[in-house]
Structure 1
Amino acid sequence: MTTSDENGSNSGQRAMRTPPVVSQQEWETAREQLLVKEKAHTRARDALAAERRRMPWMAVDKSYAFEGPSGKLSLADLFDGRRQLIVYRAFYEPGVFGWPEHACRGCSMVADQVAHVAHLNARDTTLVFVSRAPQADIARLKARMGWQIPWFTITDSFDTDFGVGEWHGTNVFYRDGNRIFRTYFINNRGDEQMGGTWNYLDITPLGRQEVWEDSPEGYPQTPTYKWWNWHDSYVDDAPPDRKWVEVSDAGEAAFRNKPQT
């Protein structure tokens, strides 16, 4: 089978060889065969995240300064009182294609995909973007593009020291009292998967912090699903909503009792 336009021609383009059209039963069989591989991929991804949580840490002994909407901040300030910090270095500065109206197209696609940060905050995690653009330009860009992500200006060698002298990259840090540690880093195609809450948590040292995860002894873990909330309804240190616990428990029980194919 090949695809064509409404006139029956391919408009001079090479015909696209599409898969065969089959019955519902054949389609379900093919889907179940692929699902086996997809589940194996999910388990492998979970195992990789577990290994990532056991990565050694690197102490950050150098001081760094950033500019924010209200003035100067340190790297510790970017944590905003939380234990974990994810820093995406977005390529937005003079010389970048699109400047000053736009940031790098790839970095802008990443920003467009970022989920509401309240869910990360509920797991003791802060996400920020940093660039070399002045705050006035960042504020104008955020307003134009509708982005709510905290976004700060790099004023020193932070980007080059952490592997993103140009282009883009995501660094993860952990704060233990006054000490800060670099725990992970991704760039290039690794940044493609970023934006969703789960993928961000999976690159942090504490992970999703749910009881099913394979984490080192003593790591914080809470019952699966129970901490979830509407993004405008999180309350610091509040217990899980009783009604939601009942609903999620019922959903889990129904899934366990459902025949698995």
Structure 2
Amino acid sequence: MSLPEVVSREEWLAARKELLAREKAATKARDALNADRRRLPMVRIDEDYRFDGPDGTATLLDLFGGRRQLLIYHFMFDPSWDAGCPSCSGFVDQFGDLTHLRARDTSLVVVSRAPLDKIEPFKERMGWTFPWYSSGGGRFNHDFHVTHDESVSPIEYNYRTRAELERAGVGYYVEGSEPFELPGLSVFLRDGDAVFHTYSTYARGLDGLGSTTSLLDLTALGRQEEWEEPKGRASAVGAPAGSDKVRYHDEY
């Protein structure tokens, strides 16, 4: 195993400060990128998507739970499987308590093609409490490019066609017998009863996600803190670390 070089405390501190300067630059660049993400236009969803949930059939609007924003994690769970994808399982293990997201008018749910009678026992086995819906045989997974079946729609993943993926050396994303599943995360905004798609990310775009702030950074309303751009997008309900607005999750 190759380990880091052993140096004196003074040498370590000099190297750490040099790296810190680069970390701060990366943070500022990330803030600017997040602002540009919030400035993206959005697309109205007119398709009447239907999902199966514990309380029966639900629409995409229902998945918001009355909140303004919705995050959907596209969990790989083929209808023929008896358990969900291990990598997706590791990803959603990070979600934990969703109260802080919900306090910022944002819901998070998980959607898979597997039927509810397979989802529910697997969810119980894993000890998860987040809402999980089945998209069943509908077009939702296909339209958001996380189920690939050329008999339903052209192959596309991470905004690239099959040919583009192969030219980029990542054709493995679209290899295998169809239909096949891939992971992703999509973001929606509600204006009254009108639902809009604002963002989706796939593949390594999922790296580093899972915390409340990282998920809010994907949304059109962001963290809802006063310093964020563009202005006027949402009231400043966010609570930066150390702020007296921060609450325990049982105090909202």
Fold equivalence (TM over 0.5):
yes
Alignment equivalent of 1:89, drawn from 66, 71, 74: 74
**Aligned-pair distance for 1:139?**
1.3
TM-score normalised by length of structure 2: 0.81
Question: Deviation per CA, 1:61-108, whole angstroms, max 9, x where unpaired?
Answer: 11110000010000000000000000111011234xxx31x3112111
2:42 to 57, 63, 68: 57
Are residue 157 (structure 1) and residue 139 (structure 2) matched? yes
Structure 2 counterpart of 1:103: 84
Kindly indicate whether the alpha-carbon contact (under 8 Å) linking 1:87 and 1:171 is maintained by their aligned counterparts in 2.
Answer: yes
Following TM superposition, by how much is the alpha carbon of 1:115 offset from its aligned partner in structure 2, in angstroms? 3.2
Structure 2 portions without partners, runs of 5+ = 148-180
1:17 & 1:93 partners in 2: Cα distance? 39
C-alpha contact (below 8 Å) 1:82/1:125 kept by paired residues: yes
Note if contact 1:114-1:194 (Cα within 8 Å) is conserved in structure 2. no
Q: Does residue 132 of the first structure (1) align with residue 147 of the second (2)?
A: no
Output the amino acid matched with 1:143. Answer: E
Provide the residue aligned with 2:224 in structure 1: 209
CA separation of 1:88 and 1:17: change in aligned 2, threshold 3 A: closer
Q: Which runs of structure 2 are paired with 1:6-21 in the superposition (5 Å)?
A: 16-21=1-6
User: What amino acid does structure 2 have at the position aligned with 1:207?
Assistant: G
Aligned counterpart, 1:119: 100
Deviations 1:226-255 (A, max 9, x none): 432212221xxxxxxxxxxxxxxxxxxxxx
Question: Percent of pairs identical after alignment?
Answer: 47
Larger Cα-atom Rg: 1
Deviation at 1:220, TM superposition (A): 2.0
Q: Which residue of 2 aligns with 1:78?
A: 63
Counterpart secondary structure, 1:228: coil
RMSD: 1.4
The range that moved more, 82-91 or 208-217, is 208-217
Name the amino acid aligned to 1:185.
S
Q: Secondary structure at the match of 1:184?
A: strand
The number of equivalent residue pairs is 215
CA distance in 2, matches of 1:119, 1:172: 17
Cα 1:218/1:126, change in 2 over 3 Å = closer
Q: Which segments of 5 or more consecutive residues in structure 1 lack a partner in the other structure?
A: 1-15, 235-261
Counterpart residue number, 1:45: 30
> Would the aligned equivalents of 1:82 and 1:124 in 2 still touch at CA under 8 Å?
yes
Deviation of 1:41 after TM superposition, in Å, equals 0.7
Residues 113 and 141 of structure 2 are in contact (CA less than 8 Å); yes or no, is this contact kept in structure 1?
A: no
- Give the TM-score normalised by structure 1: 0.79
Contact 1:206-1:220 at 8 Å conserved across structures:
no
> Do the aligned residues in 1 keep the contact of 2:79 with 2:115 (CA within 8 Å)?
no
Measured after TM superposition, the shift of residue 208 of structure 1 is: 0.2
Pairwise CA distance, 1:218 = 4.5
Cα shift at 1:219:
2.8
Secondary structure of the residue aligned to 1:193 is coil
Aligned to 1:29: 14
2:250 aligned with 1:232: yes
Report the CA distance shift for 1:218/1:85 in structure 2 as closer, same or farther (over 3 A).
closer
Q: Which amino acid aligns with 1:164?
A: V
Cα gap change, 1:218 to 1:129, in 2 (>3 Å): closer
Deviations 1:151-186 (A, max 9, x none): 001031011112222211111000000111000000
